[in-house]
Amino acid sequence: MDERSGEVVAEVLTHSLKPYKPFMPFLHIIIILFIAAVLVYGNKFGEIFTALVDVNYLLIAFQNIAVTERYRVGVIPVNIIWFSLIGLLWLWDVKIGKTEYIFQRQPLWRYWVVPLAVLAFWSPDRPWDFNPIYLLTSDSPLAFCLATPIYLSIFYFLSSLSKG
């Protein structure tokens, strides 16, 4: 591994989301609506929600390709492979339908993940800058490290792999 690998990765990840900035409010709203729908409708909306997660991870996989001035076309193949694999696993779950979306009340202490998921969704650009506009403009819908805690918190409360 070259000593400049970290620089290349940082450059690619910095530039890869720029073309999608205008779509971030739309993506945030879609995620909010899908989370609300799965909370309200449970299994009736579960397959559609799982498909959203699948598509989201496949989009995230290809955020690891960018055109930069310094490196021209930069690609992070290991991220593309891993994130595509995660997306394909969600696609598999859409096909086999093993995940059940049933919300059950939890003891209060189990809700510790909710503030962390909201913070990941909000994703303030600078420390302690909690501008509400970031709830619609952050990179969280297309950033693996931010989208994952959001989805895992939903599955922490809603899913059960006990279906037939």
Q: Do residues 24 and 141 touch, judged by C-beta distance below 8 A?
A: yes
Domains of the chain by residue range: 5-160
Instruction: Please give the pLDDT value at position 163.
Output: 46
Burial of 30 from C-beta contacts in 10 A (0-12 / 13-18 / 19+): middle
- Going residue by residue through the chain (164 aa), what tens digit of pLDDT does each one get? 677 888 888 899 889 989 999 999 999 999 999 999 998 999 899 999 999 999 999 999 999 999 988 888 999 999 999 999 999 999 999 899 888 888 877 788 888 999 999 999 999 877 888 899 999 999 999 999 999 999 998 888 775 444 44
8 Å CB contact between 144 and 56: no
Q: How far, in Å, CA of 44 to CA of 37, rounded? A: 9
Residue 124 CA neighbour count, 13 Å, CB half: 9
Q: How far apart are CA 133 and CA 106, in angstroms?
A: 31
What's the pLDDT score for residue 60?
A: 95
Q: What is the pLDDT of residue 164?
A: 44
pLDDT of residue 161: 45
